[in-house]
């Protein structure tokens, strides 16, 4: 059953084209998980996250120099290569300069019927931030209404919130199973569930999640758990890399990245003011480092809770090369994990293609050290 998720992800472009033909409705790409998908979904539009292709390319450099993160360049390349030619529009829920660059280049160079930029505040804990973000969401809603020629009703918003909250709840249930001494699901499988949810109609994906949850509740793992790892970092959808890590006597039992728990961890708390409710959800979610900017850091508190609840023994800090937001936090996070929990970490800088052989040696050495520590 779990095989369906990687298949869905790999055939995501075919799926989107087929969905579009089936519903005779638009498909809109979004660039970061701070884009409020619920509103797009409430407009009857399929939101799909625009991701890279993990393939060498030579088309992005004319628009984004190599000093920007390889993920951002890969994403733009996918657009320039026509992989997303079915998109009717593009939305950026601002996180960082790298993805803002992608949005700028995409809109300047790839014809689109619709594009919208949402400035997701960086100071998500600021006193005025939720009402401000709600106003932005209102503008976004209006722009979608103008694009489709149809009003987005409160009941459409409620239904979309329901569907998205259901997805989040199901994924949380599945993640709960990873707390077990022998988790019935691997880290790679979890990433596949999350990324496939980012590129599918959530209502359809929820059915797959329900079936997966039912299966996992009775699944007996046919592998040793080994060292319990946490994976923290920027966008990580390279499951081949995670499978390699998990083939070496370890299991990734929890993650904090935007193709993992950060994407779905908290729900929209329904309220009469739907837009404020959605705004609050995005401001309160486990943050990207770029959204943790005050003098009292709160991102590490969330990571600390995960460490304790999932009984983590070691951390893989996996960061896209040149990912500025994570580069700011990693030295502090490394020290925090070591000093507060005695948890060692291994830092790995990734590109769109990963040198598995080299990484394997480093991960093996790290796991050996942890195994000795465990003894």
Partner 1 sequence: MVQEAKKLYKTKPLDCWGWAKELRSKHYERIMHAKELGLVLSSGSAHSRVLGAGLENHIHFGGEPYGATLAQFPELATECVEATEARGYARDLCAYMRLYWGSATINKTPWGPFPKPEFVIQSQICDSHSKWHQNSSELMGVPFYTTEIPQFYPAMRPPDKYQVDYAAAQFADMVDWIEKTTKRKWNDQLFADALLRLNRIHVLWARICELNQAVPAPLDIKSMFALYWPSTSGDINEETERFYVTLLDEVRDRVKSGIAALATERSRVLHENQPPWYALWFFREMEKYGCICIGGGYLFFLGGSWELYTDEQGKPAMRIEKTIEERLGRPNTREECMHMLSVLHFGRYRMITSSDAKRAAAVAIARGWKVNGAILMNNRGCEGLSLGIAEARVGLINEGIPTMAYEANMADRREWDEAQVRDRLEAFMESLGLKKLEP
Cβ proximity of 71 and 50 under 8 Å: no
SS3 of 33, please?
Answer: coil
CB-based burial label for 294 (10 Å; 0-12, 13-18, 19+): exposed
In the list 293, 304, 356, 369, the residue contacting partner 1 (rule: CB under 8 A) is: 293
Alpha-carbon gap, residue 221 to 331, rounded angstroms: 35
* Extended strands (E) in 114-273: 114-118, 227-233, 250-256
Cβ proximity of 191 and 245 under 8 Å: no
Which is nearer to partner 1, 94 or 164 (by Cβ)? Answer: 94
Residue 334 Cβ, how far from partner 1 at the closest point, in Å? 7
98 scored as a contact of partner 1 (CB under 8 A): yes
SS3 of 119, please?
Answer: coil
In the list 44, 104, 184, 221, the residue contacting partner 1 (rule: CB under 8 A) is: 104
282 scored as a contact of partner 1 (CB under 8 A): no
Which is nearer to partner 1, 78 or 250 (by Cβ)? Answer: 78
105 scored as a contact of partner 1 (CB under 8 A): yes
Cβ proximity of 210 and 203 under 8 Å: no
Which is nearer to partner 1, 287 or 314 (by Cβ)? Answer: 287
Residue 311 Cβ, how far from partner 1 at the closest point, in Å? 26
Write the CB contacts of 110 (distance below 8 Å, at least 6 apart in sequence).
79, 80
Quick one: how far is CA 317 from the chain centroid?
Answer: 16
By DSSP bridging, strand 314-320 and strand 227-233 are parallel
With CB under 8 A as the contact rule, which of the stretches 51-59, 200-208, 277-285, 330-338 interacts with partner 1? 330-338
Alpha-carbon gap, residue 16 to 349, rounded angstroms: 31
Which is nearer to partner 1, 56 or 131 (by Cβ)? Answer: 131
Alpha-carbon gap, residue 166 to 91, rounded angstroms: 23
CB-based burial label for 214 (10 Å; 0-12, 13-18, 19+): exposed
With CB under 8 A as the contact rule, which of the stretches 192-200, 219-227, 291-299, 356-364 interacts with partner 1? 291-299
Alpha-carbon gap, residue 264 to 266, rounded angstroms: 6
Which is nearer to partner 1, 147 or 322 (by Cβ)? Answer: 322
**Interaction mask 60-89, partner 1, x per CB under 8 A:** -xxxxx-xx---------------------
315 scored as a contact of partner 1 (CB under 8 A): no
Write the CB contacts of 166 (distance below 8 Å, at least 6 apart in sequence).
202, 206
Residue 36 Cβ, how far from partner 1 at the closest point, in Å? 16
Which is nearer to partner 1, 15 or 322 (by Cβ)? Answer: 322
**Interaction mask 109-138, partner 1, x per CB under 8 A:** x-------x-x-xxx--xxx---x--xx--
Alpha-carbon gap, residue 250 to 35, rounded angstroms: 33
Cβ proximity of 212 and 28 under 8 Å: no
Residue 367 Cβ, how far from partner 1 at the closest point, in Å? 22
Which is nearer to partner 1, 254 or 315 (by Cβ)? Answer: 315
In the list 234, 283, 334, 345, the residue contacting partner 1 (rule: CB under 8 A) is: 334
Which is nearer to partner 1, 107 or 159 (by Cβ)? Answer: 107
SS3 of 79, please?
Answer: helix
With CB under 8 A as the contact rule, which of the stretches 16-24, 107-115, 141-149, 363-371 interacts with partner 1? 107-115
Alpha-carbon gap, residue 87 to 92, rounded angstroms: 14
30 scored as a contact of partner 1 (CB under 8 A): no
Cβ proximity of 253 and 311 under 8 Å: yes
298 scored as a contact of partner 1 (CB under 8 A): no
Which is nearer to partner 1, 181 or 295 (by Cβ)? Answer: 295
User: Contact positions toward partner 1, by CB under 8 A?
Assistant: 61-65, 67-68, 92, 94, 96-98, 100-101, 103-105, 107-109, 117, 119, 121-123, 126-128, 132, 135-136, 139, 289-290, 293-295, 297, 322, 324-325, 327-332, 334-335
């Amino acid at each position: 059953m779990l095989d369906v998720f990687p298949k869905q992800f790999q055939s995501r472009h075919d799926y989107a084209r087929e969905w579009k033909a089936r519903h005779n409705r638009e498909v809109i790409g979004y660039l970061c998980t701070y884009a409020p998908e619920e509103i797009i979904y409430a407009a009857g539009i399929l939101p799909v996250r625009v991701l890279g292709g993990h393939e060498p390319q030579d088309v992005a450099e004319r628009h984004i120099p190599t000093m920007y993160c390889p993920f951002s360049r890969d994403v733009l390349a996918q657009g320039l290569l026509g992989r997303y030619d079915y998109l009717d529009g593009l939305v950026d829920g601002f996180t960082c300069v790298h993805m803002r660059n992608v949005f700028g280049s995409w809109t300047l160079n790839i014809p689109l019927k619709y594009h919208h930029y949402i400035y997701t505040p960086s100071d998500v804990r600021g006193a005025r931030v939720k009402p401000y973000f709600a106003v932005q969401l209102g503008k976004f809603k209006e722009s979608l209404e103008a694009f489709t020629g149809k009003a987005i009703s409160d009941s459409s918003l409620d239904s979309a919130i329901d569907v998205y909250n259901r997805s989040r709840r199901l994924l949380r249930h599945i993640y709960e199973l990873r707390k077990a001494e022998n988790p019935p699901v691997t880290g790679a499988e979890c990433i596949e569930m999350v990324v496939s949810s980012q590129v599918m109609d959530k209502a359809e994906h929820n059915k797959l999640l329900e079936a997966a949850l039912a299966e996992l509740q009775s699944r007996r793992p046919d592998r040793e758990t080994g060292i319990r790892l946490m994976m923290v970092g920027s966008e990580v959808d390279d499951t081949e890399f995670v499978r390699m890590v998990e083939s070496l006597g370890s299991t990734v039992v929890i993650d904090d990245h935007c193709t993992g728990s950060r994407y779905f961890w908290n729900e929209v708390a329904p309220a009469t003011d739907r837009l404020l409710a959605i705004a609050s959800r995005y401001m309160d979610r486990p943050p990207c480092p770029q959204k943790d900017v005050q003098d009292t850091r709160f991102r590490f508190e969330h990571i600390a809770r995960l460490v304790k609840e999932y009984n983590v023994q070691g951390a893989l800090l996996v960061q896209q090369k040149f990912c500025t937001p994570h580069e700011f936090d990693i030295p502090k996070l490394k020290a925090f994990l070591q000093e507060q929990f005695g948890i060692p970490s291994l830092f790995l800088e990734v590109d769109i293609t990963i040198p598995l052989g080299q990484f394997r040696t480093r991960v093996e050495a790290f796991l050996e050290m942890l195994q000795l520590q465990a003894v």
